[in-house]
Structure 1
Amino acid sequence: MRAAVVTNTKFHVEELPTPVPGRGQVLINVSRCGICGSDLHARMHADAMADLADATGYDQFMRSSQSVVLGHEFSGEIAEYGPGCRRRWTSGTPVVALPIVRQAKQPQLVGLSAAAPGGYAEQVVVQESMTLPVPNGLSAEYAALTEPMAVAWHAVRKARIGKGQTAFVIGCGPIGLAVIGMLKAAGVRTVVASDFSPRRRELALRCGADVVVDPATESPWTAGAKPGGKGVTDILNLGFDAMERLRQVPNLPWWYVFRLAHTFNVGPSGPVVFECVGVPGIIDQIVTAAPPRSRVVVVGVCMQDDHFQPAMAINKEIELLFAFAYDPGEFRDTLHMLADGKVNPAPLITGTVGLDGVDNAFTALGNPEHHAKILIDPASAAVTP
């Protein structure tokens, strides 16, 4: 089979042996594969990413000296089963799969490990138990976005955001755009998106953002401000007002009111902020500028050392969360949300190339004014997106 292989940051297309699915595994013919920001990082900074993965307990992440087939955002069709499979679907059935396989009880990240070649190829091996049929005639292009949209859905679910809360999305690259789409699918009524790039702001609107902001000229916090309390002083005054009213009621055990408020998580709360940039200094900027009691979900992957002021976060009771990947249930739900039309991924797709165009696609993705998500079609002869 043909595959785009990266070695020491250089891409080359090779003819590789047809992969052989192991026990409980399936070989699929790749229809489309998306280029992820993680792929861009892995190409240039594989060793740093491998060291980080090793420190967190996964020692199989690709190294720059290895020859690796990238690609973990793919859709395809059933081609062949390995031994021990239940053979759930007939040959040619459109499917997607979580990009993880298990070999000798060792998990391998498909497309990010030399032991598990990815979807920048005509075929890829996946785990049958992690494979899902594509429902409702969903196109191969949209089905390939299940993986990145599942990352966004996990972040939105982790945020525990209410429909009436304001969501701020800082950074409108592919993951920020996916978060916007999933926030609107979740029914969040007000989404404020911020990015320096005019092109990305345009895509944010197409993904459903209610307000878009150029942070060079306008503060997203001002654009998304709601009437009422805006600072610590306002929250303290709210406490005074509440106590004065409660103490006017004779024999009322007012402290039970506060206990109930804690139990049901009601009371003054700030917006939910999604950090989707992943460069040093952004978390500190958000902690400093966001309203009190904001919940900040960090989705952007920063590979460098960073810092923020804990005292600022403490004084404002900022809740800081970090989101990574998804679980199988979230992956399945994302696929069905796409297939049911609850979220529209079309604005994310800005180009398609064949295997011979992978290197050009990586170069093109370096300019935020042109592309968001480029898909690879192994059957295509296109060399420019």
Structure 2
Amino acid sequence: MRAVVCHQGELGVREVKVPQPGKGEVLLRVRRAGICGSDLHARLHGDETADVAAAVGYDAFMRSEQSVILGHEFVGEVVAYGPKCRKKWAPGTAVVSLPMVRHGSGPHLTGLSEHAPGAYAEFVIASEDMTMEVPQGVSLDAAALTEPLAVAYHAVRRGAPGRRDVAVVIGCGPIGLAVILMLKATGVRTVIASDLSAGRRDLARRVGADIVLDPTVDSPWEQVVEQGRYLSRVSDLFTAAFDGMRTLRRIPLVPWAKVFHLADKLGATPKGPVVFECVGVPGMIEHVTTGAPLRSRIVVVGVCMESDAFRPAMAINKELELRFVFGYDPAEFHDTLAMIADGDVDVRPLVTAVIGLDGVAAAFDALGSAEHHAKVLIDPAGEVSTL
């Protein structure tokens, strides 16, 4: 079969053997595979990430000297089963799958490990237990976005914004746009999106962002403070404490400490917005912690595979909350597919191009600066080779 192989940071189309499904595995004919920002990063910075992955207990992440078939976002058709399968789906059934397989007791990340070739190919192996049928009426393009939308859904759930909270999305690439979709699908009323690219700002509007900004012209942090509920200066927090105490201490028989505790429990004390950092390059955590209002909850979604630095004292003095997210669980993946099928999220604006295998290397080079693109899909049977 034909497949796009990454070796020493170079991508090339090669003829490789069709993978054979093992115990509990399904062979799929790939119909669409998405190019993920993680793939772009792994191509150039896989060794650094492999070192980190090994430190946390996964020693099979791709390294530059290996030959790896990328691709962990995919939809395919059932072709054949390995031993010990339930064989629930007839050949030709469209399915999606969590991108992980297990050889013996060892798990491997599909498309990010030499031991689990990915979907930039004509065929890919999936775990039957992790595979789900695509509901009727869901297009191949939409089904292929189940995985990145599940990442966004997990990030939104971990960020836990309330409906009345303001959510700020920094970076409107594919994952930022997916976060916007999920924020609106879960009922968040006000979403502020910020991106340097006019094309991506337009996409942010199309997927539901309420306020869209060019950060070189307007500050998203000033826009948040203008909502009237958030504080940007520590002195304002101190002033609120003085004003509150002045009022409470002058009311006879009022247990002021209990009132303070009750106000905090009810959410009446000053808090910040929920910020989603969706860029994933060095310097962004420092940028967000410096700009965000006091007591913001910051969810780091963008995958930065390089070393980075920020000032902890800035986050401490502003009492910021940092949450880092990774992946999703099987239930979130299932729920995301259902949301796509039910029309709760409209993923159509995200797909900006579909290319063949021969166009993948050029697409990787172009996506570093192609500001009008969001999600580029690969059709292994397609012939389009340029964006």
Q: Which of 302, 322, 325 is the matching residue for 2:304?
A: 302
* C-alpha distance after superposition, 1:339-360 (max 9, x if no partner): 1111111222111111111112
Q: What does residue 45 of structure 1 align with?
A: 45
Instruction: Report what 1:33 is aligned to.
Output: 33
- Aligned partner of 1:87 in structure 2 is 87
Give 1:266 shift. Answer: 5.0
Say which of 361, 377, 382 aligns to 1:380: 382
Q: Distance in 2 between matches of 1:117 and 1:285?
A: 36
Matching residue within 308, 312, 315 for 1:313: 315
The corresponding residue for 2:281 is 279
Q: Which runs of 5+ in 2 are unaligned?
A: none
Give the residue type in structure 2 aligned to 1:211: I
Aligned partners of 2:264 and 2:212: how far apart in 1?
A: 34
- Are the aligned partners of 2:169 and 2:180 in contact in 1 as well (CA < 8 Å)? yes
SS at match of 1:88: coil
The separation in 2 between residues aligned to 1:60 and 1:229, in whole angstroms, is 44
Aligned-residue offset at 1:378: 0.9
CA distance in 1, matches of 2:208, 2:74: 24
Aligned twin of 1:120: 120
Q: Which runs of 5+ in 1 are unaligned?
A: none
Moved more, 12-21 or 76-85: 12-21
Correspondence 1:69 to 2:69: yes
SS in 2 for 1:83: coil
Aligned to 1:355: 357
SS at match of 2:108: strand
Q: Which range moves more in the overlay, 167-176 or 4-13?
A: 4-13
C-alpha separation in 1, matches of 2:48 and 2:236: 45
Counterpart of 1:149 in structure 2 is 149
Letter in 2 for 1:97: S
Most deviating of 215-224 and 325-334? 215-224
- For residue 183 of structure 1, report the CA deviation from its aligned partner: 0.9
In the alignment, which residue of structure 2 is the partner of 1:268?
270
Question: Residue 364 of structure 1 contacts residue 370 of structure 1 at CA under 8 Å; is this kept in 2?
Answer: no
Alignment deviations for residues 130-170 of structure 1 (CA, whole Å, 9 cap, x no partner): 11111242111111111111111111111110111111111
The equivalent residue for 2:344 is 342
Which letter does structure 2 place at the counterpart of 1:371? H
User: Percent identity between the aligned chains?
Assistant: 59
Shift of the alpha carbon at 1:285?
Answer: 1.9
Name the amino acid aligned to 2:274: V
Shift of 1:213: 1.1
Does 1:202 find its partner at 2:208? Answer: no
Compared with structure 1, are the counterparts of its residues 84 and 367 closer, same or farther at alpha carbon in structure 2 (3 Å cutoff)? Answer: same
TM-score, normalised relative to structure 1: 0.95
Q: Do the aligned residues in 1 keep the contact of 2:230 with 2:294 (CA within 8 Å)?
A: no
Greater alpha carbon shift after TM alignment, 15-24 vs 233-242: 233-242
Which one-letter code corresponds to 1:89 in the other structure? Answer: W
**How far off its partner does 1:50 sit?**
1.7
Cα distance between partner residues in 2 of 1:304 and 1:69: 22
- Which digits, 9 at most, give the CA deviation of each residue in 1:228-256, with x for residues without a partner? 55333333333344444544554443433
SS of 1:23 mapped into structure 2: coil
Q: CA deviation at 1:330?
A: 1.0
Code of the residue aligned with 2:369 in structure 1: it is N
Q: Which residue of 2 aligns with 1:227?
A: 228
Whole-Å separation in 1 of the counterparts to 2:136 and 2:268: 39
- Runs of 4+ residues over 4 Å off in structure 1: 244-250, 261-266
Amino acid at match of 2:188: V
**Does 2:359 align with 1:332?**
no
TM-aligned CA distance change 1:135 to 1:247, over 3 Å: farther
Cα root mean square deviation, aligned: 1.8
Q: Which residue of 1 aligns with 2:173?
A: 173
Letter in 2 for 1:321: R
Quick one: which amino acid aligns to residue 332 of structure 1?
H
Q: What is the identity, as a one-letter code, of the residue corresponding to 1:366?
A: G
Give the aligned partner of residue 182 of structure 2: 182
Read off the aligned partner of 1:116 and give its amino acid letter: A
Residues in 1 aligned to 2:84 and 2:326: alpha-carbon distance in whole angstroms: 31
TM-score under structure 2 length normalisation: 0.94
**Structure 2 match to 1:106:** 106
Q: Distance in 2 between matches of 1:107 and 1:323?
A: 20
Shift of 1:336: 0.9
- Compared with structure 1, are the counterparts of its residues 11 and 293 closer, same or farther at alpha carbon in structure 2 (3 Å cutoff)? same
Equivalent AA in structure 1 for residue 58 of structure 2? Y
- Which amino acid is the alignment partner of residue 32 of structure 1? R
Letter in 2 for 1:10: E
Change (3 A) 1:136 1:265: farther
Deviates more, 1:22-31 or 1:298-307: 298-307
CA distance in 2, matches of 1:304, 1:10: 19
Which residue is equivalent to 1:133? 133
